[in-house]
Structure 1
């Protein structure tokens, strides 16, 4: 069984992050703090030999990946492999909307006016389902649609025949995706009421048929 060491980093801070706007498939640039944070994460990982790098095809993820790889002293990898499979949850009609307002519209009909309320009673997956229900176009991803896409991203990494057992892979990810991964694979080990920090590091072991969480949001 091949095991790969995934270094999963949340992208640097963006303008939508500081404006408290939902940012799934939509995009906003990294702030200067986001650029500096990505460089700091790159310094933390400068001596890790990466055998491949992946990210979504959003500029915030690609820019973060390139800043981290530029700071790396141990690898020959200079550019990430991009794929839509690694994108954040698609929020449909609510893309770019105020985050608190969007989750209110999703959860309030169920007596749960905030994202944290929905997650506390049910799950992050249920929050996805509620948001799709509230979307007047019903184009936001529900939980099943989300995982059908994201799972293809991990299969893309597994199918890379240049990677060998115990190789290191950099993956630039997104806030709700990291929360979703922890909910699905961490077995309740972490407090998911707080979002992972921009530039934070999460360690996963990717096997042929599973994902094991080694550490989160460090």
Structure 2
């Protein structure tokens, strides 16, 4: 069994533009973000998708709709919303400037970091998620175990809905995409910030998965 997953990061939002932690907060797409969705749709226009899904956050739902607007291969007209593919929940850090969050997180590590990506490179995705949870004074934020429990449930859901050879589109989020890459033992890929509208392609088998493309915003399929 192999399901072909095309996982796309949503288009740019106003929180992305303002360099704020977003998580489960629901900032709308910018005009550039709308174009990210349309561009992804153009690159994927010739693929017939047997299923189309997005996280239930508005930026992902809208990006999926813009992708489907340019699809010419008789794919579904609307995405199904799957909360399992949401972004990590950042708890008390939602909406906070990313530099301020990074400064706070550095107090819980043995080294200081200039950017969130530097923290991921230095400690890995799992430890980064756990540090966010540790640093959240109200402990709202998800840790690695909580995040992966729901995302892996999402993959099982996709396996149950689809068959060998199906093409499936999922619109998700930057940290979630990086976290998935890390769980699939591609720590080298997880160190890279995911571009808005970029694609990760995965071959999803019954008990495993392989990444064939990551952070791809140029390939026309």
TM value normalised by structure 2: 0.92
DSSP-derived class of the 2:200 partner: strand
Q: Does structure 1 residue 90 correspond to structure 2 residue 61?
A: no
Q: List alignment gaps of at least 5 residues for structure 2.
A: 217-221
Change beyond 3 A, Cα 1:117–1:188 = closer
Q: Does structure 1 residue 215 correspond to structure 2 residue 213?
A: yes
Contact 2:127 2:144 in 1 (8 A): yes
Change beyond 3 A, Cα 1:98–1:183 = same
Q: Does structure 1 residue 196 correspond to structure 2 residue 197?
A: no
Partner of 1:29: 28
Q: Distance in 2 between matches of 1:152 and 1:193?
A: 24
Deviation at 1:43, TM superposition (A): 0.7
Q: Distance in 1 between matches of 2:31 and 2:56?
A: 21
Q: Distance in 1 between matches of 2:195 and 2:65?
A: 19
Partner of 1:178: 177
DSSP-derived class of the 2:215 partner: coil
Deviation at 1:168, TM superposition (A): 0.3
Deviation at 1:157, TM superposition (A): 0.7
Length, aligned pairs only? 214
Instruction: Report matched runs for 1:1-218 at 5 Å.
Output: 2-114=1-113, 115-160=116-161, 163-190=162-189, 192-218=190-216
Query: Once superposed, what is the RMSD of the aligned Cα atoms?
Result: 1.4
Q: List alignment gaps of at least 5 residues for structure 1.
A: none
TM value normalised by structure 1: 0.93
CA deviation string 1:51-106 (max 9, x = no partner): 00111000000000011111111023011110211100000011111112112212
Q: Distance in 1 between matches of 2:7 and 2:82?
A: 15
Q: Distance in 2 between matches of 1:202 and 1:169?
A: 12
